[in-house]
Amino acid sequence: MRRSSSRTSWCRITPSDLAWTWCRRGPVVAQPFAGRGDLERLRDLGGDDISHVTRTVELVVDALSESDTPLIGFAGAPFTVASYLVEGGPTRDFGVIKSLMHADPQLFDDLLERLVSITISFLRAQVEHGARALQLFDSWAGALSRDEYERFALQATRRCSRESRISTCRPYCSAWAPVSCSTSWPGRAARSWHRLARRPRRGTTKGR
């Protein structure tokens, strides 16, 4: 697979496996996902991994309590997260991840399976600490054709939407934390989104 050449020298890279850092272009991965052996590096998400997030959620929920303003939790959708992991950072052509998708679809499916599990844990943790709605961001879905989106991204997003719901006594949530999804793709592919779930849900679709 061809490695993207879009990185710039002033991005600071951390040495740990699959560690994230930030530069002016967005998140950059120290050692990008390159093969089946890297699945071992994607372990289950633990509470200590996101304690700073859940504590922040609690603080914001407490600050919003007087006005009963709901807090929206969020996460990157599996395909978008996979794009960063495989490409190593932001990219314009998505050549590396598309090569993986088409050359080894089983490996790509296994990667998304791990990311789905991690994403669900992350979303559920936010609800457990006070978030009252959830939003998934699939920022890079627009890089896929309609057929690619339905084959390589839709099912993972659907699972995150379905399995991140948890029971809650908050009336606002109507027995679960509602899930909204935001994505962008060419106009015809927007119809794929309407098959994500049988029930109506909040969300935005930005088509062209």
186 and 208 Cβ atoms separated by less than 8 Å: yes
Could you report the per-residue pLDDT of 75-117, keeping only the tens digit for each? 999 999 999 999 998 888 899 999 999 999 999 999 999 999 9
How much is the mean pLDDT over the chain?
Answer: 77
As a whole number of Å, the end-to-end CA separation of the chain is 31
CATH topology of domain 20-207: TIM Barrel (3.20.20)
Give the residue extent of every domain in the chain: 20-207
Best CA proximity match to 168, nearest among 112, 141, 119, 129: 129
Could you report the per-residue pLDDT of 29-58, keeping only the tens digit for each? 889 999 999 999 999 999 999 999 999 999
Tell me the pTM. Answer: 0.72
User: Among 23-32, 122-131, 153-162, where is mean pLDDT lowest?
Assistant: 23-32
